[in-house]
Structure formats: structure tokens, C-alpha cells
Structure 1
């Protein structure tokens, strides 16, 4: 099966892709294109999957970071700069391919094509709340991007209908800004449903960039195409695959 790569007109003409799980070599609960080296999948199989992604991106090296749900973004000048603890990465070095791994959290790809600067961010609820999206934009500006030229697309993420949270979760967001109540809907009992992509779009647009959008794909609701941490938890599975998103300058 060939790879399925979702793209955004917003990021054109920069080469990029939000890869689904289709077209990979993994089997079992990881069936498809599991690109997570931190999973319990066979390392050589993950390597095959990542090689297929690299080939699709026409690159020899996929550069990522050690994602820790932080608000930190780092500058990548060469492949050796990968692997740092961070959740955003940016570069203005031609030929480098930046990647993010997700399984419900938001993969966000950024570009200022005119300025020759790109970025990528892993934005779960904690990272988004703490400012990883703004940190990525700021790091791009430091490399010469113009805030008013930067565009961003949020890839496949868990949607509001599938993201049930407790009252303490709501409290964290209300403490940051009472207006955040608009990203929550009432669920069963004392539970709420959180709209992570809409919150991500709000943070991106508030950062003053030119354009931000979401591809509209829910990771939880489409098991044939996407891995989902929450879905695997509900199914009592031992582990879960990781989706990869990539952008190349």
C-alpha cells in the first residue's frame, strides 16, 4: 500500500506532509506507518517506516526532537541539532526536514516561504496552554521570518467530540483566561468536552501570524487512518503507534 500524505494549500509551495498510518510495514496494534522509535514496535520496522517517509520527502534525514510536552522551541542548523528536549523546532537551513510525532496531540507545521524559514510543533493541551506555538513563531522570527507572513496548519488531532476531560482540566484553562470557557462543551456528569484544535487556532491567530487552519481530521474517530493514544487506552491496548508530520525547506 502506498503512503497517504495529507497536505495544506496554506503551506504551499513548501514541501510538507501529515502522514497517515497507511502504507507502513508495522503489524498488530501498530499496523501501518508507525514512526515512533519510543514505541514497543520492532526498531527495524520503525526504521523501514521512517525510511519510506524520508523517501517521500526526498531527504536522507528526518530531524526531530525529544518531545516532552514543553513550551520550548529550538533552532536546527544541522541534523546533529536534533534530539534535544523540546516540542518546537525551526530552521532556515535549506534541505533540512523537520518532523513531529503525534497520536492525538496537534502536529503543527509553519512556514514563511518568502523568508525561507520553517517550523514544526508538537502541541498537546499542556504545550499549547504553556505557549509552545508562540515559542515556535518567536523562534522563526528570530531567524528572519516576518510574523505577518508566517502561515500554519494543524494536522490530524483529537476532536472535541472525542476529548472528554474532568473539571480540574477546565480549571487550568480558566485560570489562564476565563474566555477559554468557549473551548469546552458540557459532557456527562461533571465531564467536559475540550476543543483542542480550536484552542490551537486561537493561540496561533492571537500570535499575529498571517493565516492558521486545521485539516479537520480527528485521530480518535478514524482508526483506519490514524493512531490515537486515547483510543488505544480505551481499547486496553498495551501501546500505540505514532503519526509523523514533516516539513522541508
Structure 2
């Protein structure tokens, strides 16, 4: 049993390398462009919320960026470090099967190996940005002693969303509108989650319905020792509902959609 499993992961590693080769063909920096894109997005939000709004609307900006002891950069880094690879994994999943339909038909690899490509890439991208964020926290003296736990938690959170990535990959073969729709959904989720802004305890009941908020708060707390906003599971019903719905949804999609997707590839 061990050999086939190792062989399977070897195939997935080859597919990941091939996908990177196609994405960054002709570039000199390759995967470094991923880190550069992440750094640019984080820097943009930091400048806008940390400086521009602070200068233009100081009172309102203080409310938006009030986090922990006022360390907005750590607050932002702790969330974006997880959100960027997670959102990219979900979006990349929407096209992974359609873009490789010819290879899936010609080879014996099948579509199951390709389903894992966005997940493995998300792990790699998360490792890159986590290293950069940890270096910044180390230099600034804000990095928590629990940072290794934050890294493991981040990998586990990405893995927990792999089932949703598989569902998106399968459905996008049947419905072409899934990819542009997912771009819109991710924008809505991003701005409805306290990632670049902070919220007070009076709004905790509302944001508790967002399943991402507890996960991002946990990652942020382990990485930079920020405050944990929740006390009981009843304060985060969104996460409880997502966890209860995830396994049945993944099981049904694997059974019902697999044959339909093969016919459409």
C-alpha cells in the first residue's frame, strides 16, 4: 500500500511542476512572482488603511484599524498570509480540469491527480508567504513563540478547504460561469471578513456567521499573539454549519459528479 501512495504523490508533484512551467513559461523569476504579487497586495492595503485613511479620516481610520495593541501591520499580515493562498486555491480549482482536459484524455493519470494541483500549490504559496511574514515579525519583535503552530494550522485549514476546491473543479467543467462567479464570491467574502479591518465586540454576533473569521482569527492569534474574539462555539455558528455541511457535500459531489465530469471532459 505504501508504494502506490508514494507513486501517486510523485505523479501529483510532476503535475504541479508542469502547471508551474506553463504558468511561468518565459519568465525569469518563476514562482517568485507569486510572492511578489502577495507582497504588493499586502503593501497596498497597509498604505491605504494604515496611512492614507489615517491622514484623511483619523477617527474613522482608528476604528477600522484598531487591533490588539494597535499593531495594524501584524493584524494585516496574520490574516492575509492565510487568505491569499486560500482564495487562490479556490479560484485556481475552477479551471484546473478544463485547462487540462486534453492531457486527462490522452494519459492514464485521470482527473483525480489534477484535483490536488491547486491544493499542493496553495501549500507551497502559503509556505513562501509564511516565511516572509515570519521574517518581518521576527525583525519587528512581534512574532509569537507559537508561530510553528500557526504554520501547521494554516496547512490544516487549507487542507480542510480542499473538498470545496474539488467540488468547484468538478462543477466548473459542467458550468462555465463558475469561474467568474467565484471571483465575485471571493471579493464578497474578502470584504465581509475582518481581514484588512477590525471589528468591535458589538458586531461579533454578526461576523460569527462568517466561517472564515474564526479560522483567520486563530491563525492571527498563533502567529502574532493577537486577541481571540470568541469564547464558545455558539459565538461562531458559521464555522459549525460549514463543518457539518462540508463532509456530506464532498461525499455527494464525489459520487454524483464524477461520472458526469468524465463524460464532459
TM range (shorter): under 0.3
Larger gyration radius, structure 1 or structure 2: 2
More helix as a share of residues: 2
